């Protein structure tokens, strides 16, 4: 029985949603095709007809997740001043809600270490999408010089990602919270939004600006 184009497209999206979440929760190497197909409610045949290999799934899941992050940030930036939009993005990112939901949070914080060991095709997919995220952040920066905005975006995002990785890794709740709070202060200095960033539990729905 032939599958309609609409059904095939939906199946593809279900695979990418499941793969991106499972990769973030368990790591790329620890997530097998069986887990992805079971979570997506599909068969091995359906998966391989869409992608052909696990490597292709990894590359596409990375593109899909980071593109969704970008769209989330774009929604956060709509109908508000750039400074407020940037503040909202940073607050949501450096929140306990995001820290405690790796499967639905930023793929960069969850998988950068894994991706560094992946084949070039996967790293290229990651690199292209990361550049788009950085460009978006740079566009919200206050500095007049575009080169400085991009440098500040790199520095701010690197601080945010590093803080999230450390906050998740430590076993001390007080230290974890302090890492997020300290990072928020530094990001506010880098981005020029001092007085705007606050460290809190973050939004109940992490998808507002971090879920992918």
pLDDT tens sequence across 4-39: 788 888 989 999 999 999 999 999 999 999 999 999
- Nearest Cα residue to 208 out of 65, 131, 96, 105: 105
Residue 59: how many other CB atoms lie within 10 Å:
20
At 32, which CATH number? 1.10.357.10
Query: First-to-last CA distance in the chain?
Result: 33
Counted domains in the chain: 1
For the cut 70, the answer to whether the pLDDT of residue 192 exceeds it is yes
Range(s) of the domain holding residue 203: 5-208
The pTM is what? Answer: 0.86
For the cut 60, the answer to whether the pLDDT of residue 202 exceeds it is no
For the cut 60, the answer to whether the pLDDT of residue 93 exceeds it is yes
- Nearest Cα residue to 30 out of 109, 93, 110, 100: 110
113-144 residue pLDDT tens:
999 999 999 999 999 999 999 999 999 987 66
Distances (CA, A) of 90 to 37, 130, 186, 196: 34, 16, 11, 10
């Amino acid at each position: 029985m032939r599958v309609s184009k609409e059904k095939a497209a939906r199946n593809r999206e279900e695979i990418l949603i499941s793969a991106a979440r499972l990769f973030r929760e368990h790591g790329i190497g620890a997530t097998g095709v069986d887990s992805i197909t079971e979570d997506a409610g599909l068969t091995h045949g359906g998966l391989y007809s869409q992608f052909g290999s696990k490597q292709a799934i990894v590359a596409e899941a990375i593109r899909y997740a980071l593109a969704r992050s970008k769209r989330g940030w774009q929604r956060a930036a709509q109908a508000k001043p750039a400074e407020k939009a940037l503040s909202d993005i940073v607050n949501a990112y450096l929140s306990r809600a995001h820290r405690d939901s790796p499967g639905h949070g930023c793929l960069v914080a969850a998988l950068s270490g894994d991706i560094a060991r992946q084949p070039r095709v996967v790293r290229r997919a990651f690199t292209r999408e990361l550049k788009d995220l950085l460009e978006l952040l740079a566009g919200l920066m206050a500095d007049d010089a575009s080169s400085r905005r991009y440098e500040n975006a790199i520095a701010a995002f690197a601080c945010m990602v590093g803080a999230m990785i450390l906050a998740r890794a430590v076993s001390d709740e007080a230290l974890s919270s302090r890492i997020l709070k300290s990072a928020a202060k530094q990001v506010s200095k880098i981005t020029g939004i001092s007085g705007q960033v606050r460290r809190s539990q973050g939004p109940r729905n992490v998808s507002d600006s971090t879920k992918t």
